[in-house]
Amino acid sequence: MRSASTFNPPTRILLGPGPSGAHPRVLRAMTAPILGHLDPEFLRIMDECNDMLRRVMGTENRITLATPGTGTSGMEAAVMNLVEPGDKVVIGSCGYFGDRIVQMAERAGGVVTRVTSAWGSPTDVAGVEAAVKAAGNVKLVGIVHAETSTGVQTPVEPFAKIAHEAGALLLVDCVTSLGGVPVTVDAWSADAVYSGTQKCLSAPPGMAPLTLSPDAWDAVKAREVPCNSWYLDLSLIEAYWDERRAYHHTAPISMVYALHEALALVLDEGLEVRWARHEQNGRALQAGLEGMGLVLHADEGYRLPVLTTVRIPEGVNDAEVRGALLKRHSIEIGGGLGDLRAKVWRLGLMGESSNPGNVLLALSSLGKILREQGFKADIGGGISAAAAGLEGA
């Protein structure tokens, strides 16, 4: 008698807020033989990951590595290492993940000022500037570049100017943007930037790329009290990723393999080509959704191409639609988080999932189910609008 059911996960088309589909090369890399975490060959692979991460993140920062865990581990590593008890922190929050940064900074003992924007609008530049001036002696300003809960992209440069004129560091969450839209750490003058493997890098969840500027690293080394997290203490993790190879934890070997292949695929495609692919597919999907008669949630001009939020029409059952897409078409899309729960759907076109076929499949499948729910979706109009955007793809 079997002691467990047969392991046979279904194949899904991942068009939600993450994870995205992984390239076969990435999945194949994860089946490679396990090496010891101090094996010379594995250390060479780590060094190559470092070099490729710098290129993909647009930085020359020496402190560029990947923490074990999902994108949230990158967030926690950045916040817990930079915020000490009593530090003044200003966080611009325009969604669920901006609020998460606030919670972490408070747990680290920071004196946090939250500047809140509507969930669908970018972070308020004037509000953050006023808060930084009012607080005085601010150590850290934090924003989310690509807010996964709302589909909003916030321009980074104005906040770098605000932070540095006040003598503060700038933290930027790029979990959903790295590898899909331009992330240029050094050009932004950002000090702490982190991401995740499972979004536009198109690897399984499990590691979080992170980079710190020299000023941010100086702040970590100047701490008067140890970091609140031992596991994510960057002064310890960094000593394993650099030439000292000081033991800290047993690295997730197969995930490092996956990260290596995912980064190689990004660079093989070319950053600008990859950004253009995500832009074209994302805008085509958005045009198609509007062409069907649906309403996009995020403010025009600030909509992410890689993650689209669309409002659920009146009278349409959120869970039934998502369930039908999964059961009948093996398509996963995401529901709303926090203030947007049961109010929006989140459709992701990230990494390997960002292609013209998925744009048209998502529109046709969603349109049919919406009609069953009583919403008169103009499927032909949506497909035509999307197809126009995909011309030349």
CATH of the domain at 247: 3.40.640.10
* Position 3 confidence tier, pLDDT thresholds 50, 70, 90: low
Using the predicted structure, report yes or no on whether residue 166 has a pLDDT greater than 90.
yes
Q: What are phi and psi of 372, to 5 degrees?
A: -65, -30
Least confident of 19-23, 93-97, 245-249, 294-298: 245-249
Clarify whether residues 301 and 323 are in a common domain.
yes
Rounded to two decimals, what is the model's pTM? 0.96
The separation between CA 74 and the C-alpha centre of its own chain, rounded to angstroms, equals 10
Phi, psi of 208 (to 5 degrees): -135, 105
DSSP state of 342: T
pLDDT band at 278 (very low <50, low <70, confident <90, very high): very high
> In this structure, are 56 and 181 located in the same domain?
yes
Q: What's the pLDDT at 88?
A: 98
Q: How far is CA 178 from CA 58, 209, 311, 370, in A?
A: 10, 9, 25, 32
Average pLDDT over residues 304-317: 98
Residues 210, 143 share a domain: yes
- pLDDT-derived band at 5 (thresholds 50, 70, 90) equals confident
- Please say which residue of 240, 267, 294 terminates a domain: 267
Q: State how many domains the chain has.
A: 2
Largest CA distance in the chain: 69
Residue count (the chain): 393
User: Does 290 lie in the same domain as 257?
Assistant: no
Whether 123 has a pLDDT exceeding 90, the answer reads yes
pLDDT of residue 61: 98
Res. 6 pLDDT band, cuts 50 70 90: confident
Could you tell me the residue range of the domain that residue 295 belongs to?
270-390
Average model confidence (pLDDT) across the chain: 97
Nearest to 277 by CA among 349, 197, 332: 349
210/304 same-domain check? no
Query: Which tokens in the block code for residue 122?
Result: 């970018």
**Residue where a domain stops, chosen among 267, 285, 312:** 267
* Residue 7 pLDDT level (bands cut at 50, 70, 90): confident
Residue 389 has pLDDT above 70, yes or no: yes
Q: What is the DSSP string of 129-186?
A: HHHHHHH-SEEEEEEESEETTTTEE--SHHHHHHHHHTT-EEEEE-TTTTTTS---HH
Poorest-confidence range of 1-15, 96-110, 122-136, 320-334? 1-15
Q: Is the pLDDT of residue 4 over 90?
A: no
Residue 393's pLDDT band (cuts 50, 70, 90): low
Say if residue 9 is exposed, middle or buried (CB neighbours under 10 Å; 0-12, 13-18, 19+). exposed
Residue 45 lies in a domain: yes
Residue 1 has pLDDT above 70, yes or no: no
Residue 7 lies in a domain: no
212 with 314, same domain? no
The pLDDT value recorded for residue 183 is 98
Give the pLDDT of residue 28.
98
